[in-house]
Structure 1
Amino acid sequence: MIPKLRAWDKVGKSISSVSEITYSGDLSYLSFVKLSGNNRLYGRESRLADDVILMQSTGLKDKNGVEIYEGDILKLHAIFLAPDDKIGYIEYSPKYGYSIIFEGNRLYRQEYWASTNKLNYEVIGNIYENPELLREDTKND
């Protein structure tokens, strides 16, 4: 399986699909396809690797069929966590895989959230474009 990546462009302040990673001497460049608000393609860009943050797909989709990536903010409804919806963001760790980080840095490991009914979670944004969706003590600094 080829990993599916997207990138946060620190310069252009937008999320893009990665189309190519090129290594040239000591520098790494990423080429990506810029997406408009409704996900229509509108041109190619290249950036130095330090000017982007790569995010890999988890390979899972939410209740609306939206692919879930590192850095995505999810709304999760799971009675065993609490009767109310919880909001957290996806982060990868070698020890636990893709986990959801909730307020207070509580971790909900991939083996639990990925195996539950997909109708329980929904992508509502990402940590770069929608940080206001997270509470102050959940934000990834």
Structure 2
Amino acid sequence: MINFRAWDKGTELMNDITVIDLENEEIYYHHWRYGHSEAIPISDIELLQSTGLFDLDGNEIYIGDILKVEDEYTQVVFHEDNTTYGIYLEDKEGGGNPISDYSTRISLNHIKGTIEGNIYQHLHLLEE
């Protein structure tokens, strides 16, 4: 099963998605503190897909997460070019290392790092 979460641009909260209604272009989510949402237009959120991978603490890693690997902060991104597509850890210069490369079926169960935040709430970590 593919998991998603949503960054609500209006409330600036990260939420677990419960329903994606593609026909009406809406989502419903659950926030751990505020409960279930009403229908929210997909245009009012940033939809973030799980990578299917987990950090050293067992937390599920999503696109947009910021990981600390050794002493470096890196962003989890989806990368697509003419030869490959997959999940990458992007460095500050825009390059990166694949953590799941669908063209060669490289995939790791756990990343040797921990989730420190995400690009919506903790972007300053990438600037350090």
The interval holding the TM-score normalised by the smaller chain is 0.7 to 0.9
Q: Does 1:126 align with 2:118?
A: yes
* Residues 35-81 of structure 1, C-alpha deviations (whole Å, 9 max, x = no match): 23xxxx6232321111011111111111111110000000112xxxx
One-letter amino acid of the counterpart of residue 14, structure 1: L
- The AA in structure 2 aligned to 1:110 is I
Decide whether the 8 Å contact of 1:33 with 1:45 is kept in 2: no
Normalised TM-score (structure 2): 0.83
1:2-81 alignment, distance < 5 Å: 2-24=1-23, 27-36=24-33, 42-77=35-70
Name whichever structure is richer in helix by fraction. Answer: 1
Contact 1:96 1:109 in 2 (8 A): no
* Aligned length, in residue pairs: 121
| Identity score, percent | 28
Deviations 1:104-138 (CA, angstroms, capped at 9, x unpaired): 1121112489538x4621100000011111118xx
Secondary structure of the 2:121 match is coil
Query: TM-score, normalised to structure 1's length?
Result: 0.76
What is the one-letter code of the residue matched to 1:126? N
- Three-state SS of the structure 1 residue aligned to 2:117 is strand
* Structure 2 match to 1:96: 85
Alignment partner of 1:50: what SS?
Answer: helix
Q: Could you tell me which runs of 5 or more consecutive residues in structure 2 were left unpaired when the two chains were aligned.
A: none
